[in-house]
Amino acid sequence: MREQMPMGARITRITEESPSIRTFTFDLAIPFTPGQFVMVWVPGVDEVPMALSAENAITVQRVGEATAALFNLAVGDQIGIRGPFGNGFAVTGRTLAVGGGVGVAPLYPLAAAGSVEIFLLGARTAADLLFADRLGEACTLVTATDDGSAGHHGFVTHLLERVDPVDFDHICVCGPEGMMRAVLSILDREGCAERGQFALHRYMKCGIGICGSCCIDPDGLRVCRDGPVFTGDRLLASELGRYTRDASGRRKPL
């Protein structure tokens, strides 16, 4: 697909996954590697990066102006798509996935393809456990909820006490940055940070590595071009889990 101009995509189905998360299916199939993202143009509002949850779908949490506008669209409405961009997950052998909240979206295609052995899934409540039924059919699923309404009562990182990350060739992670930083710390403690693959989300303007708005400290890595998936050893000294930046480039504490 074109990097510069969005392709028109018509919404064919809207699925309410949780009170704040919806999947938008459209009439455009995009060959991609799980973990890659697209720039989604909401006409008259903004263009924002979103991970693909399928070759013809994005799964979105309502968090700002663009996503609120997207939630106001209906079947038959049109959006624009550029991409896919960046690199995705690269796995062989035994793979463990750790996902939280809407961060499960880029991990789901990996599991659906049969590439994940065990999936640790976390959310605030049972109603927020994204794709739980389908994940349970694709791999061994272990869940955790903050309020204890399903699975382990606590954080998804607690589930890493039940498995040994050293037993896996790859540990693929996406979710809230505090969670990802906690997972990275565990992998570093176990001496296997380089086996981790972390999908980051940052503010982006171009999506193709030109504007620099998604660069992360301290090395200036571009999330859109060098990521969005990074191995854990490249993130140990980074801003991951500490802060992001807004549209003006100012730091936003997490």
Residues in binding site for [2Fe-2S] cluster: 206, 211, 214, 224
Whole-angstrom CA distances from 239 to 202, 207, 220, 244 are 11, 20, 11, 7
| Closest to 57 (Cα-Cα) out of 115, 91, 10 | 10
| Under 8 Å between Cβ of 91 and 171 | no
CA distance linking residue 114 with residue 139, whole number of Å: 7
Across the strands, what pairs with 52?
58
Helices (H), 77-176: 108-112, 132-138
CA distance linking residue 94 with residue 63, whole number of Å: 34
Q: How many Cβ atoms are within 10 Å of 253's Cβ, its own excluded?
A: 6
Annotated binding site: 206, 211, 214, 224
CA distance linking residue 189 with residue 183, whole number of Å: 10
